[in-house]
């Protein structure tokens, strides 16, 4: 057994101790971490999980390190003391393992709040037990005369302190429960371990402890910040997901509303279009002719706006991509400009189109009209004198439309932002009477959906040129369009009066009255039925129609397609066509696949007249 070490030098004088005490009394408040704010249960649970994640390593170290130390210095220290210390460390290992198993078991059985509340204090008990057992190693200095063993034992203590600072950093209070029982015995035993150098070793230990404490505190702040940021991110992600689901739900609700309401909305527009066309056919008064034509033009505008509303609503959700088709620009440009002619005259402005007689571009008619409408409207709004010029011309790779104005112009710094929503250069006060700043943003979206390009040139005080370019129509397609237009004009040149019998099956009484008025105006016999049973009664009474127009949607379980399929056998002489306002239904797809002609509602009178001329005999 090694002899107990006797101190070779007296304890340093009281003056040195007083200076040391004063130094640390001023340094400790600055070096040690300040008390952190109260943490929520979620944060405390995650910090505790990080601490327990390192528990298996600490359990292994509490067995391995004492065993290696005892083996390495078996002849340099009292063997009884070594065995006693190893027994204490085994007790630590057993206690730590028991706590760790209990923590894992309760984690699966208890709620997070209850689990955190129970094991937060138990975690401190484990930390204190760890500190007491590792701190007991300082007593070994009393049972050795080997300075090498004392040095190794202090290095081992420093390593344990460093490992504890890292593993217990998520909960800095654990450092106090574990660190103080380790540090205090080693401070007291410094003079026994290193006679004559005790104060020096004590100062080094204190500085080392301060550095570890500071490091652990910074690490804990970083971990808490990361956990809170993660929580905030999850909350924001959940909020975003909730908002997204609400927006999708609102969009679906809007789509369902439009789908349900479109049929009812189409009915009065359908009836109005047919009644106005019947009025045009019956009118014999030259005095009333201009008025009737104006009413017809207004009706066509209502029909177009209604179609545009539904089409733009579908495009808005990106569920239906626009289908580009050849569009004749001259008529469209003149039609759009006619809508602003009265406003331009009242403002003393000129409104001039400059378009070739025949110019086509690949576009979607609704989007093209909206894009041009917004540009002309914007030009007139910011032009006080002079006028607006609209041009269209064929270029090598595209068809370019331009809207010139002599307005206020736009300064260069505003040009990158004028196509942004709600951006208005000349309305900084956000006066709603001057518009909402959506016109150019909608124009940009329309051009983008038509796969086109756009831009602007402007000179402040002199005016601006807004332009957009679309894909040209291939020459062979232009030839086909010309041929179809010629055929349509030839059809129009045929005699107006037709003869034959038409049966219309529609559940709306206004629609039936409109069909009667229009067919009689064109000299066609017409019979109407509200449903299939009523039509069967007419057939039983001897009705043999030349054409059957049947609505796809009928009351109850009736379906226009099923009725036409059945009447093919009983009325083989009749041609059949479906009327529908729902252009995306499965029944409509089945009707087109079966070869039935489909007329969308509201029915275009020109298309209807062309169909009747093909299927009926002239009078």
Could you tell me which residues are beta bridge partners of residue 55? none
Give the pLDDT mean for 536-550.
Answer: 93
* Cα 417 off chain centre by: 23
d(CA 56, CA 525): 95
d(CA 538, CA 545): 10
Range among 263-267, 313-317, 454-458 rated most confident = 454-458
Instruction: Decide if pLDDT at 465 tops 80.
Output: yes
Element (H, E) at 332: helix 329-346
Q: By mean pLDDT, which of 115-119, 127-131, 611-615 is the weakest?
A: 115-119
Residue 34 is predicted with a pLDDT of 44
Q: What is the pLDDT of residues 429-439, one digit of tens each?
A: 444 444 445 67
Higher pLDDT, 347 or 583: 347
Range among 27-36, 168-177, 399-408, 505-514 rated most confident = 399-408
Give the pLDDT mean for 139-156.
Answer: 85
Q: Which of 211, 113, 119 is nearest to 169 (CA)?
A: 211
Residue 437 is predicted with a pLDDT of 54
Residue 433 is predicted with a pLDDT of 42
So what's the architecture of 493-618 in CATH?
3-Layer(aba) Sandwich (3.40)
Residue 317 is predicted with a pLDDT of 52
d(CA 566, CA 12): 118
Q: What is the pLDDT of residues 243-297, one digit of tens each?
A: 878 877 776 776 666 656 665 666 777 778 788 888 877 777 887 888 888 887 7
What's the CATH number for 325-470? 3.30.565.10
Instruction: Decide if pLDDT at 2 tops 50.
Output: no
Report the share of the chain in percent with pLDDT over 70: 82
Torsion, Cα 243 244 245 247, to 10 degrees, reads 80
Could you tell me which residues are beta bridge partners of residue 464? 405, 458
Domain ranges of the chain: 38-238, 325-470, 493-618
In terms of C-beta density within 10 A (0-12 exposed, 13-18 middle, 19 or more buried), how is residue 341 classed?
exposed
Instruction: Decide if pLDDT at 169 tops 80.
Output: no
> Strands 463-470 and 399-405, how do they pair?
antiparallel
Q: What is the pLDDT of residues 401-412, one digit of tens each?
A: 999 999 888 888
d(CA 311, CA 450): 14
Could you tell me which residues are beta bridge partners of residue 403? 390, 466
Residue 422 is predicted with a pLDDT of 53
Give residue for tokens 């505003």: 414
Q: What is the pLDDT of residues 586-611, one digit of tens each?
A: 666 777 777 788 887 778 887 888 88
118: three-class secondary structure by DSSP: helix
d(CA 189, CA 154): 10
Higher pLDDT, 191 or 417: 191
Residue 36 is predicted with a pLDDT of 45
Q: Which pLDDT band holds residue 305 (cuts at 50, 70, 90)?
A: low
d(CA 170, CA 45): 11
CB crowding 66-90: b at 16 or more within 10 Å, else e = beebbeebeebbbeebbeebeebbe
Q: Which pLDDT band holds residue 549 (cuts at 50, 70, 90)?
A: very high
Contact 48, 171 (CB under 8 A): yes
Contact 184, 135 (CB under 8 A): yes
Give the pLDDT mean for 207-226.
Answer: 80
Give the pLDDT mean for 355-380.
Answer: 89
User: Mean pLDDT in the chain?
Assistant: 79
Q: Which pLDDT band holds residue 40 (cuts at 50, 70, 90)?
A: confident
582: three-class secondary structure by DSSP: coil
Q: Which pLDDT band holds residue 203 (cuts at 50, 70, 90)?
A: confident
Contacts of 499 (CB under 8 A, 6+ apart): 523, 524, 525, 616, 617, 618, 619
Q: Which pLDDT band holds residue 230 (cuts at 50, 70, 90)?
A: confident
Higher pLDDT, 280 or 304: 280
Report the share of the chain in percent with pLDDT over 90: 14
Q: What is the pLDDT of residues 488-508, one digit of tens each?
A: 666 555 555 678 899 999 988
d(CA 234, CA 237): 5
Residue 432 is predicted with a pLDDT of 40
Give the pLDDT mean for 296-315.
Answer: 65
Residue 400 is predicted with a pLDDT of 95
d(CA 164, CA 128): 12
Q: By mean pLDDT, which of 6-15, 162-171, 259-268, 596-605 is the weakest?
A: 6-15
> Strands 399-405 and 387-394, how do they pair?
antiparallel
Instruction: Decide if pLDDT at 538 tops 90.
Output: yes
Could you tell me which residues are beta bridge partners of residue 598? 578
Residue 583 is predicted with a pLDDT of 60
Positive or negative, the CA dihedral 395, 401, 403, 409 is negative
Could you tell me which residues are beta bridge partners of residue 617? 499
Q: What is the pLDDT of residues 18-30, one digit of tens each?
A: 554 454 445 444 4
Give the pLDDT mean for 466-473.
Answer: 93
Higher pLDDT, 13 or 119: 119
Query: How close are the terminal C-alpha atoms of the chain, in Å?
Result: 136
289: three-class secondary structure by DSSP: helix
């Amino acid at each position: 057994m090694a002899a107990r070490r006797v101190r070779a030098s007296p304890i340093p004088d009281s003056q040195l101790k007083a200076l040391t005490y004063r130094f640390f009394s001023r340094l400790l408040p600055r070096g040690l971490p300040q008390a952190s704010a109260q943490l929520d249960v979620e944060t405390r649970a995650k910090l505790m999980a990080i601490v327990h994640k390192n528990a298996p390593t600490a359990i292994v170290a509490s067995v391995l390190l004492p065993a290696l130390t005892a083996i390495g210095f078996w002849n340099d220290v009292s063997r009884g003391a070594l065995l006693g210390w190893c027994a204490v460390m085994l007790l630590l290992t057993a206690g730590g393992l028991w706590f760790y198993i209990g923590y894992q078991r309760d984690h699966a059985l208890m709620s997070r709040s209850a689990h955190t509340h129970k094991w937060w204090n138990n975690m401190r008990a484990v930390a204190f037990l760890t500190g007491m057992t590792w701190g007991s190693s300082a007593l070994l200095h009393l049972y050795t005369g080997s300075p090498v063993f004392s040095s190794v034992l202090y290095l081992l203590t420093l390593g344990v302190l460093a490992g504890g600072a890292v593993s217990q950093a998520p909960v800095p209070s654990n450092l106090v429960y574990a660190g103080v029982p380790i540090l205090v015995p080693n401070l007291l035993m410094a003079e026994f371990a290193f006679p004559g150098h005790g104060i020096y070793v004590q100062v080094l230990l204190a500085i080392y402890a301060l550095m570890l404490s500071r490091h652990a505190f910074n690490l804990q702040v970083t971990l808490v910040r990361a956990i809170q940021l993660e929580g905030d991110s999850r909350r924001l992600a959940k909020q975003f997901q909730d908002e997204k689901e609400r927006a999708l739900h609102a969009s679906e609700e809007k789509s369902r509303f439009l789908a349900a309401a479109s049929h009812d909305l189409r009915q009065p527009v359908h009836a109005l279009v047919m009644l106005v066309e019947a009025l045009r056919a019956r009118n014999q008064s030259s005095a009333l002719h201009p008025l009737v034509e104006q009413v017809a033009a207004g009706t066509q505008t209502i029909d177009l706006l209604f179609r545009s509303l539904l089409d733009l609503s579908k495009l808005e959700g990106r569920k239906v991509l626009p289908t580009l088709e050849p569009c004749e620009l001259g008529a469209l440009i003149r039609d759009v400009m006619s809508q602003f002619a009265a406003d331009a005259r009242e403002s003393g402005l000129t409104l001039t189109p400059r378009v070739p007689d025949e110019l086509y571009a690949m576009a979607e008619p609704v989007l093209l009209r909206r894009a041009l409408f917004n540009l002309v409207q914007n030009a007139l709004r910011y032009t006080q004198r002079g006028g607006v010029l609209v041009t269209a011309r064929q270029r090598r790779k595209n068809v370019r439309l331009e809207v010139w104005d002599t307005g206020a112009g736009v300064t260069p710094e505003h040009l990158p932002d004028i196509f942004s929503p709600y951006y208005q250069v000349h309305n900084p006060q956000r006066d709603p009477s001057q518009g909402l700043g959506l016109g150019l943003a909608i124009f940009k979206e329309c051009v983008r959906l038509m796969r086109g390009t756009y831009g602007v040139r402007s000179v402040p005080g002199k005016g601006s040129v807004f332009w957009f370019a679309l894909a040209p129509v291939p020459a062979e397609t232009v030839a086909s369009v010309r041929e179809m237009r010629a055929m349509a004009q030839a059809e129009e040149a045929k005699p107006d009066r037709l003869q034959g019998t038409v049966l219309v099956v529609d559940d709306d009484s206004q629609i039936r009255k409109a069909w009667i008025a229009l067919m009689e105006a064109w000299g066609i016999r017409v019979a109407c039925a509200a449903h299939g049973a009523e039509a069967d009664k007419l057939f039983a009474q001897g009705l043999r129609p030349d054409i059957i127009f049947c609505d796809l949607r009928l009351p109850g379980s009736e379906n226009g397609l099923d009725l036409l399929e059945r009447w093919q056998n009983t009325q083989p002489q009749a041609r059949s066509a479906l009327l529908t306002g729902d252009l995306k239904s499965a029944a409509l797809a089945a009707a087109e696949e079966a070869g039935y002609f489909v007329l969308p509602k509201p029915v275009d009178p020109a298309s209807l007249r062309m169909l009747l001329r093909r299927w009926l005999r002239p009078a």
